[in-house]
Chain A
Amino acid sequence: WNTESKPNYGRSDSYRVATTQDKDDRSPKKKKGAATKDMDDLKKEVPITEHKMSVEEVCRKFQTDIVQGLTNAKAAEFLIRDGPNALTPPPTTPEWVKFCRQLFGGFSILLWTGAILCFLAYAIQAATEEDPAGDNLYLGIVLTAVVVITGCFSYFQEAKSSKIMESFKNMVPQQALVIREGEKVQINAEEVVAGDLIEVKGGDRIPADIRVVSAHGCKVDNSSLTGESEPQSRSPDCTHDNPLETRNVAFFSTNCVEGTARGIVICTGDRTVMGRIATLTSGLETGKTPIAKEIEHFIHIITGVAVFLGVTFFILAIILGYSWLEAVIFLIGIIVANVPEGLLATVTVCLTLTAKRMAKKNCLVKNLEAVETLGSTSTICSDKTGTLTQNRMTVAHMWFDNQIHEADTTEDQSGASFDKSSVTWIGLARVAGLCNRAQFKAGQDSLPILKRDVAGDASESALLKCIELSCGSVRAMRDRNKKVAEIPFNSTNKYQLSVHETEDPNDNRYLLVMKGAPERILDRCSTILLQGKEQPMDEEMKEAFQNAYMELGGLGERVLGFCHVMLPEDQYPKGFAFDTDDVNFQTDNLCFVGLMSMIDPPRAAVPDAVGKCRSAGIKVIMVTGDHPITAKAIAKGVGIISEGNETVEDIAARLNIPVSQVNPRDAKACVIHGTDLKDLSQDQMDDILRNHTEIVFARTSPQQKLIIVEGCQRLGAIVAVTGDGVNDSPALKKADIGVAMGISGSDVSKQAADMILLDDNFASIVTGVEEGRLIFDNLKKSIAYTLTSNIPEITPFLLFIIVNIPLPLGTITILCIDLGTDMVPAISLAYEAAESDIMKRQPRNPFRDKLVNERLISIAYGQIGMIQALGGFFAYFVILAENGFLPSILVGIRLNWDDRSVNDLEDSYGQQWTYEQRKIVEFTCHTAFFVSIVVVQWADVIICKTRRNSVFQQGMRNKILIFGLFEETALAAFLSYCPGMDVALRMYPLKPTWWFCAFPYSFLIFVYDEVRKLLLRRNPGGWVERETYY
């Protein structure tokens, strides 16, 4: 990357709108097919030609009349031909497909296999035996129920979150004023057809793409389409070949800010410019969310283990001489034991809980999995307007009395104030208040001034609010100084003036006030007001003015100059007829009062939030359609370009050398202009993104935003994009997580986003990141907890098959653990507080930091799980021994034990047992094993609370977890002691002492893990950490 190749770098003048022109020039070098198609489509010239036609031609084309509009019959005909004027919602997956996905995705396939094997086994039994045992049928039904219920649960969770989105769709139908058969009628915007003659006025949303035929001071806000924040005027004349830039076309879904216009509808629905972008956006493919990848990875591991063990033991069983039927039943048991049935539901619930918590903090999550994505975000591409800034022009600085004064720009007016006692200031305030057409809308007296709605353009509103805040009611001021004449702002004069009566009833002079572009104002002034005294404008003052103007302009602020003059009474007596068309009064030799500069100031919470992002290792990139100077000023203001960091241009300016001589590596920050961006190759782009920590992209077009996002993703970053306009939506969709603005955001952007910031505040993203990181940690804990109990579930089966002991734990009891007792504690871990400051560490590396890694498996399966299994087996041996079957005779007893025809099986004490009698003991063992797992899981949930800290450091403040401990114990007791359970689930009451069998093992788990964590903390980076820190 060579700076020489970019002569325009950082140039602040001559920024022409960069919309389609940029797109056309971009060389097509995209690798993915889908992306290429999208890009090509975007690049296509907007197929509107009507702006170049005369009004008559347009009328002819649409068979309409310039006065009468369409006939009702024609309108109806067109409506049938073109369909309603609405954007086609993005293709949604049919509900049944979604449902099936839940029903057959994840572990469900494995469980379905289990269920089918159960039914198969039962069918074989039914065919071969006279009185088949219902066990397999029963288990098959239970498994089916489990799959269906968890499937339904996930489906409804998903449906719920998609419903939230639907609530965002505007339910109130938009209205449009059309003229048909010469009559003005208010109809639903959906019924507008091409050729309709419509009327829009300030405040309306434009219902379709229209060719303007007449306009009165009409200005539209195209920001949602182009990102251009400045309102643009509309008139019937074609001013540009490009339909996006010509003045005589107004676009669907943009807003008319002021004035009125009448036009002919040329495109409706999806054929509008907005519709095209929306369709493109919905066609953009999005990758899987990181958490979805993690869960898939995890499902693969577990499924792999389950299938491997199942098949191994199936073959082993056949070799050991078991019948096919028995081998199949073992297979089912192993599958059921291996699959953490409740885990996916737990993950869904955990994510839902976090999503709810985030919604409380103004982050609305549309897609559950996006909850975590924000946590792994390593780059945030933030839009400027509205997200980083308040989206409200505010007076930031003033220059009067040859001094720059700072105005308070904070949202709550907590900032510093300036000296308001100067006479010059009073003069300046009077000019700004009087020479101003903006006014507060009625009925807002109770609202704070800054919150009030203003009718008028952004600069005038800013002035109005500033004056209202510092000098009291502007309305009263205007009442005291009646306006007698006015020349509105126009682009040739570049000024606005008005003539007023004075406040003093005895003073019959008129006051002329003027504001406008500072250099034009200065040209008309011969004197300057200093400390309330008029003094001649000398060269020194002119230079001071130039310096101030440059300084304020350098801050990215829009500067206006103000001047006034008291018209001499002899020339302009009371009642003088001021002619504003053919100016018959003095407009030069005025008295310069001061400058006021405005900016859309950063939100108060943003600098702090950007700082947090930085300490959390997240790179914040500003991507804006605004001017580089303004962008840079705001970037510096909010810390995206941090203090002391310089761009190449800054270094060049400081060292007074040409930009080309500066080593680009010396500059950490850079501001890149959209026109330069389009000349960059992919490598240069990567180079910029890699080598600069603080980047601002200014004057970017929608596709460039897309390119920036793709560039970051190419470097392995997980990218969050914020934006509000339609122009942002492709980037929002492409990003790993798109964040739309709830207040200012357009519908299309909200549709494309995964998350919506209800308060439009960048700081909310930081909260989201924090929550996302927390849930990732907590999901790890939750999964570690749930997976651990797989070992005590699977080992009974293995020993049953290998050493022929009576089955220690049945399939039904396994389901009771997975779907019963384990659920609440696992979910409660989602409420666990963070162990350390999670905003102080780097974002996780999606390639290295897995949700489930080998260390987690090692701990859960190899260590804690084994201790748990021993606890369960101990309880099992205790029960059998205390009932007469000592461990020594158990090995190999299974053949007789499970033989229905053996009804006098002898135990160690010579007692003889019928089949049913010993089965009751066996089921009591299952119950005891189950209770033992609950007991060891107490310890497990407590150790899973933390990954590094001791429980004594973390405390037991998680109330849900404490509830979970009691809940699982109560549930276990209920399952054991509730009458009828012996029939329903074959669980039997335990003697109280049997509850305590697993206690030593529970204690061992706790001690073992505390010691492990102690070693882990003592030796950071040591062997214990490398092998066991998950």
Chain B
Amino acid sequence: MASTEDKPANKESTSSWKDSIYNPRTGEFLGRTACSWGLILLFYLVFYCFLAGMFALTMWVLLLTLDDYVPRYRDRVPFPGLVIRPNSLDIHFNKSDPLKYASYVQHLESFLQRYNDSTQQGNEDCPPGEYYIQDSTEVMTKKVCRFKRSALSLCSGLSDTNFGYSEGKPCVLLKMNRVTPTFTERFGSPIQMQYFPIEGRIDKMYFPYYGKRAHEDYVQPLVAVKLLLTKEDYNKELAVECRVEGSDLRNDDERDKFLGRVTFRIKVVE
């Protein structure tokens, strides 16, 4: 008895299932007629256009309030981070195999293109030892202090196009992040190495940075480190930590391992 009762119900349910996709009697597709679909889609079209307009309006208002030269809040980047070039925290190469270090050398070479003496010729030769402050509000475009590639001496890639990689004494460039109004003083590393410029000092004259728009050709001062590795250091992975030291700098943030410091590993194979 149960089976006879169930059968028609089953038939009904299959047909209603089909009907729920397309019902030929009422012309309903997914439970709506074409007209009903049209209306609801039109409504949503208009509604979303309106919302898009509203969103665009608020975004426009937002952009109006922003300054073109400086971000409104700079408190999230109070201290600069420190990064190295070549852009790898694991420098690992065979000094006798040029193919292994070619990428590092190319990377450094291309990075230093902006520091070519020819390019830097057009920049200002600022008085060293003091901040190069250009607070004039009329002139929005700020002058840039010259940082010549040749100042990096042995690590400039001019005399040694292999940046010391071929002799097992590789150069690493240290670069401090650009942050708009920061004043830094001195740069140093805890490990004895050869620095260029001498003492690994970054001159005050390169600061402050006035932002991308005002300071278009700005180049960050660099410090090159030539790692004077000896025979004993080869085939070993060495951890090198560099810290920037200065009156307004932090290099001991617990969470941010790149704030004013950088740790990288180097392994040179003979």
Q: Is A877 within 8 A of B71, CB to CB?
A: no
Q: A435 CB to closest chain B CB, in angstroms?
A: 59
The chain B residue with its CB closest to the CB of A887 is B59
The chain B residue with its CB closest to the CB of A863 is B47
What residues on A are CB-neighbors of B198 within 8 Å? none
A907 within 8 A of B: yes
Stretch of A135-143, A576-584, A830-838, A878-886 lying at the B interface: A878-886
The chain B residue with its CB closest to the CB of A874 is B58
Interface code B42-62, partner A: CB below 8 Å = 1, 0 otherwise?
A: 011001100100110011001
Q: Is A917 within 8 A of B62, CB to CB?
A: no
For A874, give its contact among B55, B88, B177, B215 (CB under 8 Å): B55
For A911, give its contact among B1, B40, B77, B255 (CB under 8 Å): B77
Q: Is B58 within 8 A of A909, CB to CB?
A: no
What residues on B are CB-neighbors of A908 within 8 Å? 71, 212
Q: A927 CB to closest chain B CB, in angstroms?
A: 13
Asked whether A916 and B259 contact (CB < 8 A) given A881-B66, A910-B211, A1004-B54, the answer is yes
Q: Is A31 within 8 A of B180, CB to CB?
A: no
Asked whether A909 and B213 contact (CB < 8 A) given A877-B62, A882-B73, the answer is yes
Roughly how many angstroms separate A913 CA and B40 CA in the complex, as a whole number? 46
Chain A contact residues: helix, strand, loop or mixed: helix
For A912, give its contact among B40, B51, B81 (CB under 8 Å): B81
The chain A residue with its CB closest to the CB of B65 is A882
Asked whether A911 and B2 contact (CB < 8 A) given A874-B58, A877-B59, A883-B76, the answer is no
Asked whether A866 and B51 contact (CB < 8 A) given A904-B175, A909-B213, A911-B177, the answer is yes
B258 within 8 A of A: yes
Q: Is B2 within 8 A of A910, CB to CB?
A: no
Q: B217 CB to closest chain A CB, in angstroms?
A: 11
Q: B107 CB to closest chain A CB, in angstroms?
A: 14
Asked whether A912 and B179 contact (CB < 8 A) given A903-B83, A920-B76, the answer is yes
Q: A694 CB to closest chain B CB, in angstroms?
A: 30
Q: A1028 CB to closest chain B CB, in angstroms?
A: 10
B89 within 8 A of A: yes
The chain B residue with its CB closest to the CB of A912 is B177
Q: Is A911 within 8 A of B180, CB to CB?
A: yes
What residues on B are CB-neighbors of A901 within 8 Å? 87-89
Roughly how many angstroms separate A907 CA and B211 CA in the complex, as a whole number? 10
B256 within 8 A of A: yes
Q: B114 CB to closest chain A CB, in angstroms?
A: 14
What residues on B are CB-neighbors of A1001 within 8 Å? 54
Q: Is A882 within 8 A of B66, CB to CB?
A: yes
Q: How large is the interface on A (under 10, 10 to 19, 20 to 34, 35 or more residues)?
A: 35 or more
B191 within 8 A of A: no
B34 within 8 A of A: no
Roughly how many angstroms separate A999 CA and B51 CA in the complex, as a whole number? 15
Q: Is A917 within 8 A of B178, CB to CB?
A: no
A203 within 8 A of B: no
The chain A residue with its CB closest to the CB of B178 is A912
A991 within 8 A of B: yes
What residues on B are CB-neighbors of A903 within 8 Å? 81-83, 177, 258, 262
A415 within 8 A of B: no
Roughly how many angstroms separate A1027 CA and B47 CA in the complex, as a whole number? 14
Roughly how many angstroms separate A485 CA and B261 CA in the complex, as a whole number? 118
Roughly how many angstroms separate A502 CA and B63 CA in the complex, as a whole number? 110
Asked whether A917 and B209 contact (CB < 8 A) given A31-B2, A874-B58, A881-B63, the answer is no
A914 within 8 A of B: yes
Roughly how many angstroms separate A134 CA and B63 CA in the complex, as a whole number? 37
B228 within 8 A of A: no
B25 within 8 A of A: no
B5 within 8 A of A: yes
B231 within 8 A of A: no
B39 within 8 A of A: yes
What residues on A are CB-neighbors of B5 within 8 Å? 31
What residues on A are CB-neighbors of B55 within 8 Å? 870, 873-874
B70 within 8 A of A: yes
The chain B residue with its CB closest to the CB of A1004 is B54
Q: A1023 CB to closest chain B CB, in angstroms?
A: 7
Interface code A911-929, partner B: CB below 8 Å = 1, 0 otherwise?
A: 1111111001100100000
Q: A804 CB to closest chain B CB, in angstroms?
A: 19
Roughly how many angstroms separate A866 CA and B51 CA in the complex, as a whole number? 8
A1021 within 8 A of B: no
The chain A residue with its CB closest to the CB of B68 is A909
The chain B residue with its CB closest to the CB of A885 is B71
B104 within 8 A of A: no
Q: Is A917 within 8 A of B77, CB to CB?
A: yes
What residues on A are CB-neighbors of B63 within 8 Å? 881, 886
Q: Is B62 within 8 A of A913, CB to CB?
A: no
A1000 within 8 A of B: yes
What residues on A are CB-neighbors of B187 within 8 Å? none
Q: B266 CB to closest chain A CB, in angstroms?
A: 16
Q: Is B256 within 8 A of A917, CB to CB?
A: yes
For B218, give its contact among A874, A910, A917 (CB under 8 Å): A910
Q: B268 CB to closest chain A CB, in angstroms?
A: 21
Interface code B27-44, partner A: CB below 8 Å = 1, 0 otherwise?
A: 000000000000110011
What residues on B are CB-neighbors of A29 within 8 Å? 1
Roughly how many angstroms separate A887 CA and B62 CA in the complex, as a whole number? 11
What residues on B are CB-neighbors of A883 within 8 Å? 71-74, 76
What residues on A are CB-neighbors of B197 within 8 Å? none
What residues on B are CB-neighbors of A873 within 8 Å? 55
What residues on A are CB-neighbors of B81 within 8 Å? 903-904, 912-914, 917
For B83, give its contact among A874, A878, A882, A904 (CB under 8 Å): A904
Asked whether A917 and B259 contact (CB < 8 A) given A881-B63, A883-B76, A912-B80, the answer is yes
Q: A717 CB to closest chain B CB, in angstroms?
A: 19
The chain B residue with its CB closest to the CB of A879 is B73
Q: B47 CB to closest chain A CB, in angstroms?
A: 7
The chain A residue with its CB closest to the CB of B80 is A912
Asked whether A909 and B71 contact (CB < 8 A) given A903-B81, A904-B81, A1027-B43, the answer is yes
Q: List residues 1-37 of chain B with CB under 8 A from any CB of chain A.
A: 1-2, 5
A265 within 8 A of B: no
Q: List residues 144-200 of chain B with CB under 8 A from any CB of chain A.
A: 175, 177-180
For B39, give its contact among A881, A907, A1023 (CB under 8 Å): A1023
Q: B102 CB to closest chain A CB, in angstroms?
A: 21
A90 within 8 A of B: no
Interface code A350-381, partner B: CB below 8 Å = 1, 0 otherwise?
A: 00000000000000000000000000000000
Q: Is A882 within 8 A of B256, CB to CB?
A: no
Q: Is A914 within 8 A of B258, CB to CB?
A: yes
Q: A548 CB to closest chain B CB, in angstroms?
A: 54
Roughly how many angstroms separate A1000 CA and B51 CA in the complex, as a whole number? 12
Q: List residues 290-334 of chain A with CB under 8 A from any CB of chain B.
A: none
Q: Is B51 within 8 A of A867, CB to CB?
A: yes
A132 within 8 A of B: no
Q: Is B2 within 8 A of A917, CB to CB?
A: no
Q: A988 CB to closest chain B CB, in angstroms?
A: 9
Q: B182 CB to closest chain A CB, in angstroms?
A: 10
Interface centre among A873, A903, A991 (most CB of B within 10 A): A903
Q: A644 CB to closest chain B CB, in angstroms?
A: 40
27 of the cross-chain contacts (CB-CB < 8 Å) are: A29-B1, A32-B2, A862-B44, A870-B54, A881-B62, A882-B71, A883-B72, A883-B76, A887-B59, A903-B81, A903-B262, A904-B83, A906-B212, A907-B71, A908-B212, A909-B70, A909-B71, A909-B180, A910-B180, A911-B77, A911-B177, A913-B77, A914-B81, A916-B255, A916-B257, A917-B81, A1023-B39
A-to-B contact residues, CB < 8 Å:
29, 31-33, 862-863, 866-867, 870, 873-874, 877-878, 881-884, 886-887, 901, 903-904, 906-917, 920-921, 924, 991, 1000-1001, 1004, 1023, 1027
5 nearest A-B residue pairs (beta carbon): A910-B212, A914-B81, A916-B256, A912-B177, A884-B71
14 more contacts with CB within 8 A, not counting A884-B74, A908-B71, A1001-B54, are A32-B2, A870-B51, A874-B55, A874-B62, A884-B71, A903-B82, A906-B212, A909-B70, A910-B212, A911-B211, A912-B80, A912-B178, A916-B258, A1023-B39
